Amino acid sequence: MTLHSRPGRLEWMQSPWQELAELDAWLLTLAERLRPDVIHLNHYYHGHLNWPAPLLITAHSCVWSWYRHVKGHLPDNDWQLYLQHVRRGLRSADLVTAPSGAMLADAEVFYGPFRAARVIANGRRPEDYPPAPKQARIVSAGRLWDEAKNAAALASIAPELSWPVEIVGDSKHPDGGQRQYRNVELPGPLATEALARRFGRAAIYALPARYEPFGLSVLEAALAGCALVLGDIPSLREIWGDTALFVPPDDTRALRDTLQALIDQPRLRQYYATLARRRALHFSSARMTAGYLRAYRHLQQQSGSPRDLDQLGSTA
């Protein structure tokens, strides 16, 4: 595998359009030189380019659905250009994927119709998140500056819990500013291995999210044997069903009572930890890889490309 990289701002950052446009020629030159069978983008802006192969774009999240679920309203006029660019990119794709049905539905509402679409859930390798002997500890993880994660709700009720609460993640916004919370432990961002150890030792994982298109940290914590307390939103309900405990994101009393109930009842805590891990094993990296290879193969067959992708799947 060869990595070709160039720095640049993403669509949701401040004033990204000139930097993104400057990448057009570089990306097309790479595509012409490498002659790929399929183009897979994990952002939106460059979807409109005249790519020399079928195009798949994965909608991981977006500003308009973030506003809808976090703020309760749509963005103001400052985000109209974002809407236009993202809509143009996604409508240019031969296939749009998303990690959950909830995210795909949001994308279709704001940016559709699409030529074709399907859900391919994210995945993790279970062996990377082994459970360990559990400690009396609640952990959460995510970007502290992102209101969608709702870290403020967890921090506000932490003093009322009989176990300590730790929130792992970056507090510095890429465009400036910083969020800090009292009453919780804030170790900052951690490397993957260190975060896996935190999850392995924690008995409970809490994420009272307002918006979470999939929730990789939830999956990682579940694989590591944590009982889950999550925001009651469509995507997390879709993925975790009856294997987690759910609370309305703005109901801090329900969050406090649910966490304390798990603290006070070891059997209940172990019951939900077992359910969550069993469910998490369904979302493996191998399953995700197989899903994308099927999508690539479908696009390849539509374009008439003769190259066999099975060898790629054997090394993924």
Using CA atoms, how far residue 16 sits from 43, 82, 174, in Å, is: 13, 10, 12
pLDDT at 316 > cutoff 50: no
**Percentage of the chain surpassing pLDDT 90?**
88
Amino acid at 188: G
pLDDT in tens, 151-164: 999 999 999 999 99
Question: Structural domain boundaries of the chain?
Answer: 17-123+286-315, 126-280
What integer pLDDT is reported at residue 109 of this predicted model? 98
Same fold, 17-123+286-315 and 126-280: yes
Please check whether residue 278 is in contact with residue 243, taking contact to mean a CB–CB distance below 8 angstroms. Answer: yes
Q: Which CATH superfamily is domain 126-280 in?
A: Glycogen Phosphorylase B; (3.40.50.2000)
Check pLDDT > 80 for residue 221.
Answer: yes
- Which homologous superfamily does the CATH classification assign to the domain defined by 17-123+286-315? Glycogen Phosphorylase B; (3.40.50.2000)
Per-residue pLDDT tens over the stretch 25-65: 999 999 999 999 999 999 999 999 999 999 999 999 999 99
Task: Write out pLDDT tens, residues 162-192.
Answer: 999 999 999 888 777 778 888 999 999 999 9
Q: pLDDT tens across 16-26, in order?
A: 999 999 999 99
Closest to 212 in 3D by CA, of 245, 176, 240: 240
* Residue 221 CB-density burial (10 A; 0-12 exposed, 13-18 middle, 19+ buried): buried
What are the distances in angstroms from CA 290 to CA 119, 148, 167, 222?
13, 30, 33, 22
Q: Quote the pTM value.
A: 0.93
